[in-house]
């Protein structure tokens, strides 16, 4: 069984430096930290985490609550969290809540029993102050909405949606259909605001017949696109509130014999890795998922370590990615 002395021998560093790098990696230089981690991997050193946790009354673990673990966008956010946690000497537990309050409460018990030092919430759901379940640890929202409690990280969802719809308007479209998330979903609510504002600025009213509601899955996007394509006066463009529903819409329109963007332009939201590889490639809004996760994790760990009690809303920049699905 290897010990910290083996790590010292391989790395050429003192046991005190190695111990400090493992306990408080943020307090040592990046080069030193990398030397320690390289040596730890080389000799397969496994520190006594239980003893460390008892000494510090901390688990050095963060809990990430994901509303849908198969969603590619949430995967990018989680990757940013994990990379930052690893860099700072923490482990990550992931709980797939499946958008269930009951499952979320179950996972939250990990924080209540101190198996996790803090929580990063990826669900955008807004919970009124008097209905929130207090936790004995810091909580940060990595994918917030306009009403999400601080501290949180998000993009300007309404502004991004408005920019995307304005692009469709600039391409000459006046009947723009929407494939939304559920009526209660905060992200869908914020993005619908952007849709309304873009139409109002262009002097156009909202035609409720052009709005379909899904659940952010490809299947719901396909159903919505079929319904919109069947309208007597069908839309000439579709704004889907995430890329997965947009991909489902592309498939449904192709099966219906409609060309994209010739018969109907399609735009998505998120810029998941598949968006550039659809036929045709998908115009979309790029959210900086990994950066959102990394920012949220840094905020959480700073709060855990008592360095900075950041209680702000961090709005990160988005980008409009123009591809062939809307004519570029």
CATH code for position 29: 1.10.260.40
Alpha-helical (H) ranges within 174-217 are: 186-201
How many domains is the chain partitioned into structurally?
A: 3
Cα-based distances in Å from 57 to 42, 94, 174, 193: 29, 21, 60, 45
Q: Model confidence over 223-274: pLDDT tens digits?
A: 999 999 999 999 999 999 999 999 999 999 999 999 999 999 999 999 999 9
Q: Are residues 80 and 132 in the same domain?
A: yes
Q: Model confidence over 98-109: pLDDT tens digits?
A: 878 788 778 777
Residue 233 placed within a domain: yes
Q: What are phi and psi for residue 71, nearest 5 degrees?
A: -70, 120
Q: Assess whether pLDDT exceeds 50 at residue 50.
A: no
Q: How much is the mean pLDDT over the chain?
A: 89
Q: Are residues 162 and 281 in the same domain?
A: yes
Q: Assess whether pLDDT exceeds 80 at residue 49.
A: no
State which residues form the domain around 13.
Answer: 4-47
Confidence of residue 126 (pLDDT cuts 50, 70, 90): low
Per-range mean pLDDT, top range of 8-22, 49-63, 104-118, 155-169: 155-169
Q: Are residues 129 and 250 in the same domain?
A: no
Confidence of residue 131 (pLDDT cuts 50, 70, 90): low
Residue 119 placed within a domain: yes
Q: Model confidence over 51-89: pLDDT tens digits?
A: 444 444 567 899 999 998 889 999 999 999 999 999 998
Residue 327 placed within a domain: no
Residue 144 placed within a domain: yes
């Amino acid at each position: 069984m290897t010990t910290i002395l083996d790590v010292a021998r391989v790395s050429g560093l003192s046991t005190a430096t190695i111990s400090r790098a493992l306990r408080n990696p943020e307090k040592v230089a990046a080069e030193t930290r990398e030397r320690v981690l390289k040596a730890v991997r080389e000799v397969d050193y496994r520190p006594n985490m239980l003893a460390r946790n008892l000494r510090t009354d901390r688990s050095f673990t963060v809990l990430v609550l994901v509303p849908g673990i198969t969603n590619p966008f949430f995967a990018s956010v989680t990757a940013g969290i994990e990379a930052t946690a690893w860099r700072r000497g923490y482990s990550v537990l992931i709980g797939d809540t499946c958008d269930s309050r009951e499952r979320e409460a179950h996972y939250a018990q990990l924080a209540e029993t101190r198996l996790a030092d803090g929580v990063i919430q990826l669900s955008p759901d807004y919970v009124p102050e008097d209905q929130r379940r207090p936790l004995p640890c810091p909580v940060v929202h990595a994918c917030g909405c306009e009403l999400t409690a601080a501290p949180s990280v998000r993009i300007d969802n309404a502004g991004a949606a408005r920019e995307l719809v304005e692009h469709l308007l600039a391409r000459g479209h006046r009947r723009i259909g929407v494939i939304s998330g559920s009526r209660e979903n905060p992200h869908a609510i914020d993005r619908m605001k952007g849709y309304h504002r873009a139409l109002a600025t262009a002097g156009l009213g909202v035609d409720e017949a052009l709005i379909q509601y899904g659940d952010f899955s490809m299947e719901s996007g396909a159903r919505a696109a079929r319904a919109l394509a069947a309208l007597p006066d069908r839309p000439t463009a579709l704004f889907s509130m995430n890329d997965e529903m947009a991909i489902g819409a592309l498939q449904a329109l192709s099966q219906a014999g409609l060309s994209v963007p010739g018969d109907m332009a399609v735009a998505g939201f998120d810029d998941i890795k598949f968006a550039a590889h659809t036929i045709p490639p998908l115009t979309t809004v790029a959210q900086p998922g990994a950066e959102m996760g990394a920012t949220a994790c840094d905020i959480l760990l700073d709060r855990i370590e008592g360095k900075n009690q950041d209680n702000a809303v961090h709005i990160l920049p988005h980008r409009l990615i123009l591809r062939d699905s809307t004519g570029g």
